[in-house]
Structure 1
Amino acid sequence: MTVAAILSKKGRDVVTVSADLSISDVVHLLANRRIGAVVVTDPANRIVGIVSERDVVRALARGVGSIDGAVSSIMTAKVVTCTDRDTINEVMARMTEGRFRHLPVVDAGQLAGIVSIGDVVKARIEQVEREADEMRAYIAMA
């Protein structure tokens, strides 16, 4: 199963913000939309960063100057991405290795979606259950 299969079910909508948006506005956006991360993009829809709940907590812990400061001051600038052709196992490995829960999907240099660890785990469980059902059906026919 690939990332494209996940996106075909959940959709390709991604909440994005500009780098000059305030940290306070991003915190409210995360809370109101009940999401764990937003992608920071430039006017050409290219990814310049990502801000997750963890980034906000880390900033607060180190005493960020002001919650009214720009989100660019707390965002993760080196964003790991995937394509919709990547498999679930490849994406799970990337997320585990990098210890992050959100992975933007890129197509031809443009933001094309986002997958969370929850999306990936759900898809993997569905895949395992489908394989188990197929195995039971095969055994029943024997």
Structure 2
Amino acid sequence: MTVKAILEQKGHDVYTLGPNEKLATAIGMLTEHRIGALVITNGDRKIVGILSERDIVRVIGKLGAAALDQTVREAMTPKVSICNENHTVNEVMEIMTRGRFRHLPVEKNGHLDGIVSIGDVVKRRIEDVEREAQQIREYIATA
């Protein structure tokens, strides 16, 4: 299964924020939408960073409540690993495991096209394993 198939099922919607917004605004969005990361983009959906819960905890641990007045740019991870719609579930799992993160933006033609989370990947992998097991059972039953 590919990232394209995942996005066809879950959609291409991604919560984004600009890099000059306040961290307090980002925290409000994460809370409101019950998500773990925001993709930080400029005006034309070009990815400039990602802000995860881990980034926020790191900044609050360092600055305390004053971190809420920081800009997203000061807290985000600017070097973002990305994938495209042709990556397989196994490739995405490898990228996430190697980078130790749970959200991977999908880029198409240099612009944000979606996001894949570890939950999306695990769900699809489980579906693949269950389908394979069913095929083996059917094969055995007809042999």
Aligning the two structures, in what range does the TM-score lie when normalised by the shorter sequence? over 0.9
Find the counterpart in structure 2 of residue 106 from structure 1.
107
Q: Does 1:27 align with 2:27?
A: yes
Find the counterpart in structure 1 of residue 96 from structure 2.
95
Distance 1:135 1:83 in 2: 31
Alignment length (residue pairs): 142
1:118 Cα deviation after fit: 0.4
Question: Which digits, 9 at most, give the CA deviation of each residue in 1:36-83, with x for residues without a partner?
Answer: 000000112100000001100011112264311211000000000000
Find the counterpart in structure 2 of residue 46 from structure 1.
46
Distance 2:5 2:122 in 1: 13
RMSD of aligned residue pairs (Cα, Å): 0.9
Find the counterpart in structure 1 of residue 69 from structure 2.
68
Distance 1:44 1:115 in 2: 20
Unaligned runs of 5+ in 1: none
TM-score of the aligned structures, taking structure 2 as reference length: 0.97
Find the counterpart in structure 1 of residue 132 from structure 2.
131
Unaligned runs of 5+ in 2: none
Distance 2:79 2:3 in 1: 21
The structure richer in helix per residue is: 2
Find the counterpart in structure 2 of residue 78 from structure 1.
79
Paired residues for 1:1-12 under 5 Å:
1-12=1-12
